[in-house]
Every structure is written in structure tokens, then in C-alpha cells.
Amino acid sequence: MDIDLPPCKPGQQRVVIIGAGFGGLRLARKLSPRDFQVVLLDRFNYHQFQPLLYQVATSGVEPSSISFPLRKIFHHRPNVIIRIAEVQSFDTVNKRVVTSIGDIPFDILVLAHGATTHYFNMEDIERYAFPMKSVPEALLLRNTLLQRFEEALTTQVPGQKQADLNLVVVGGGPTGVELAGTLAEMKKKILPRDFPELDFSAMQIYLVEASPRLLNGMSEASGQRVREYLSRLGVTVMTDTAVTGYDGETVRLKSGQQIPSRTLIWAAGVRGNQLPGLPDEASAPASRIRVDEYNRVAGLSEVYAIGDIAFIPSDDYPKGHPQVAPAAIQQADTLAANLAAAGKGRPMHPFRYRDKGSMATVGRNLAVAEMGKLRMGGLVAWMAWMAVHLFSLVGVKNKIVIFLNWIWQYFTYDSSLRLIIKPAGEPGNAST
């Protein structure tokens, strides 16, 4: 059954956007209220600023500082209608999105539902490892990290204390690097004060990467520099090392080595969120959706895909464009212009990616950044990293809050967010 929606105004087409990440949010903001009614769907009622998820997981910033309520973002945009729903499938013949709250008819559909953690078919890892692609997952990781040290204090199971202390981060991309660096700083500055009864010299932090180097999206030199930073902070960096199994207690490596750890964080890859109802010719590697240079989904009309989920074959990027915020935002901008042009019968323009460079931070005063031929490291790169991330955050208040938080932590080496908070069980359930 179709859900209740306000009817389109005369001259409006309805654009249904799946996902309020960087791409979907940008597009919803850019589409002209005169020409388009926008229905923005997401499973959460907030936009997540994914680049700082690792700071939520490590008790550095509050979830609310990197989560912005969608309804507030669109207070002054009456043409944008928001629905919180799980999308179940697409019916492209009858032009409907099938969701947990009912069917939603569209004139134009934009798929911006992004990527999720890729476990490469390793079921035990999917079952026991901690992913970190959403605020709820980052919060669960925060709760668990803190809980492990509590457990290390009280366990009487032989060998469990070491497994409680050890942390294994898998994946040498920006997320893995940032997480490992921050955990190393916690180990040094914060945990010994919180848990004076534990011997943190016994704690090991591993960063495990299957390829020969860290930060494959950046230069060899930056990868090497980050490796040195991490080693200096006490992280055991293992490249050329594949994880082959995990049972929740012991990480098994391809070499046969075993690492006792009850906390394996999986940041080793992403794949597109899969939803049924698209033609076979639209399928692309890593569950992405094949689109042309106008972001049109292969084999369909009036259906587009942007951001991490979109795969645009091109000579410069044979594996698709990088799955990063700037690519999603640029695709949203191009698509907004193209939809406006198409509505007026004007030609569309093909998407051209402008690489704004990339960066990763390891810890206090330590980062690497590259923009074209310019390469930076250390303090300069770290300040650039902070500036770029602050300016990218939605909302003045979030910018201020995060900035003050960072200053506070810089001087005190300490935030006050080491809380194990889980909402209580729903009333009406058996356990209450």
C-alpha cells in the first residue's frame, strides 16, 4: 500500500532519494523547490559524519556531535519530506520503492544508500568482529572497549585477561590507522589512570593489513610515514598479513600466528549495501551499482545512483571512484544540475571527479596529507586535517562543540566520555 505523502505541487516531479549520507543529503539540499518534491529516506533520523566515527568509538567525541537530525537540517526546505524507513526493494516497473512503512511512488529515483562493511565471505569474522560504519556500531564499540577492561579486572578464566587487553584492528586504510593511533594514545595517557590495577605494558595493539603497505590510497611516502608514527606510539603494524579466522577469543593469521584478543575491529573493506530489484547489468564489483557518466543506472530510466554505491567506469578510475565524501558530494552536485537541465530539455553534463587530495591522522600532532603534488606530515598535516574536518561538519553548533572538545582534550589529555551507556529495553518486551 502506498504511504501518505503530500501531493506534488504543479510542475514538481517527485525525487525519492535513498540514504542521507554525504551524497543524498547534498542532493536534497540542491534540488530546486520549484521543480522537485524530494522524499528523503534513511533508516536513521540523522546524518552521520562518518570520518569521525572512530572518535566516538574511542570516547573522544559524543555521538551527537557527529550526528545531525535530518528534520532540523531541512527546517527551511518545505519541499523536502523525510521518512525514517528501511528500504526493502525497488519496483522499477511500477516506479515504487518498497519500504518497511509502505510503498513510495517516484518520478525519479536516486540511490545513495552507500557502502557497508565487507567481510569477504568470512562468516566467523562477520559474527564476532566489530564493524564501524555507523554511529550505533561506533557506540557499541565504545561500550565494548570499556567493558573489556572492566572484565580484565575481574576475570578468573586463565588467559582471558590478555585477550581482554589486546586489541586487533584489521585494515590499513584511514579508518584503521586513525583507530589504532587513537587507541595507542588511550593506552598511554588515559587507561593507566582509569585502571591503575591493570598492567598496560602487557596490552598490545595490532594493526593488520593484507597488502604490503598502509594507506593504499596515498603515496608510498605517506604510507611509510604513518607506519613510523604508529610504531612510535607503540602499535604493532603487520603488513602483508591476512586474517583467516576469528572465534571471538583468538585471531588466526595466514602465517599460522595466533593473537589472543576479544576485540577485533574490522575496517578492512567496504561493499555496496545490497537491495533487490535492479537489473543484472547494473551489478558492479564489490556490490556497487553500475551507472554511466550521468549517474544513470544501467538498464533503467529515471533511476540514478551516486556516492559510495555508484560505480562509474572510466579510464582514470578503472576500479571506480574513491568511496569518499568529496566524490559523493561532487556527484550530487552534478546530478542536481543534470536533473534541473533535463527538466528544461537542456543537455546533461558528464561527471568529472576533482581529486581534492586525501589525509589521515594518527594522533596528536601526527598526520599525513596530500593535495596533488603537495605532501605534508606531522603538525602541519594534523592542523590541516582538523580544519578540513571541522569545516565539513554540518551545523555551527557541532563545529563549535567538536572544536572545544578537541582543545579540551589537547590540554587535558582526557575527555569525560568513557561511558558504557545502552538504552534500556523497550517496555512491553519480556525482559522488562
Catalytic residues: 178
Out of 31, 40, 57, 135, the only residue in the binding site for a copy of itself (CB under 8 A) is: 135
Out of 156, 280, 318, 344, the only residue in the binding site for a copy of itself (CB under 8 A) is: 156
How far apart CA 270 and CA 404 sit, in angstroms, is 32
Residue 340 near a copy of itself by CB under 8 A: no
Residue 428 near a copy of itself by CB under 8 A: yes
Q: Which residues contact 359 (CB under 8 A, 6 or more apart)?
A: 174, 367, 368, 369, 370, 381, 384, 385, 388
**Which uninterrupted H or E stretch holds 48?**
strand 46-48
With b meaning 16 or more CB within 10 Å and e meaning fewer, what string describes 166-182?
A: bbbbbbbbbbbbbbbbb
Q: Which is nearer to a copy of itself, 75 or 344 (CB)?
A: 75
Residue 123 near a copy of itself by CB under 8 A: no
Which segment (10-18, 234-242, 323-331, 419-427) binds a copy of itself by CB under 8 A? 419-427
Q: Which is nearer to a copy of itself, 105 or 313 (CB)?
A: 105
Which segment (187-195, 287-295, 305-313, 381-389) binds a copy of itself by CB under 8 A? 187-195
Closest among 104, 67, 68 to 86, alpha carbons compared: 104
Q: Which residues, numbered 356-385, are part of the site for a copy of itself (CB under 8 A)?
A: none
Burial of 348 (0-12, 13-18, 19+ CB in 10 A): middle
- Are 47 and 25 in contact by the 8 Å Cβ rule? The answer is yes
Q: Supply the minimum distance, in Å, between the C-beta of residue 332 and a copy of itself.
A: 22
Q: Which is nearer to a copy of itself, 219 or 415 (CB)?
A: 415
Q: Which is nearer to a copy of itself, 3 or 253 (CB)?
A: 3
Q: Which is nearer to a copy of itself, 45 or 224 (CB)?
A: 45
Q: Which is nearer to a copy of itself, 198 or 340 (CB)?
A: 198
- Are 204 and 233 in contact by the 8 Å Cβ rule? The answer is no
Q: Supply the minimum distance, in Å, between the C-beta of residue 166 and a copy of itself.
A: 16
Helix 220-232, helix 174-185: angle, nearest 10: 20
Residue 63 near a copy of itself by CB under 8 A: yes
How far apart CA 168 and CA 183 sit, in angstroms, is 10
- Are 77 and 270 in contact by the 8 Å Cβ rule? The answer is no
Residue 136 near a copy of itself by CB under 8 A: yes
DSSP 3: P
Q: Which is nearer to a copy of itself, 344 or 422 (CB)?
A: 422
Closest among 162, 156, 159, 247 to 206, alpha carbons compared: 162
Outline where DSSP puts E strands in 72-181: 80-84, 87-91, 96-99, 102-105, 108-111, 115-117, 167-170
Residue 71 near a copy of itself by CB under 8 A: yes
Out of 11, 276, 345, 427, the only residue in the binding site for a copy of itself (CB under 8 A) is: 427
Residue 93 near a copy of itself by CB under 8 A: no
Out of 117, 134, 175, 182, the only residue in the binding site for a copy of itself (CB under 8 A) is: 134
How far apart CA 178 and CA 386 sit, in angstroms, is 13
- Are 227 and 219 in contact by the 8 Å Cβ rule? The answer is no
Q: How many residues belong to the site for a copy of itself (CB under 8 A)?
A: 66
Give the interface with a copy of itself as residue ranges (CB under 8 A).
1, 3-4, 6, 44-46, 62-64, 67-69, 71-72, 75, 78, 81, 83-85, 101-102, 126-130, 134-137, 139-140, 143-144, 146, 150, 153-154, 156, 193-197, 248, 395, 397-398, 408, 414, 416-428, 432
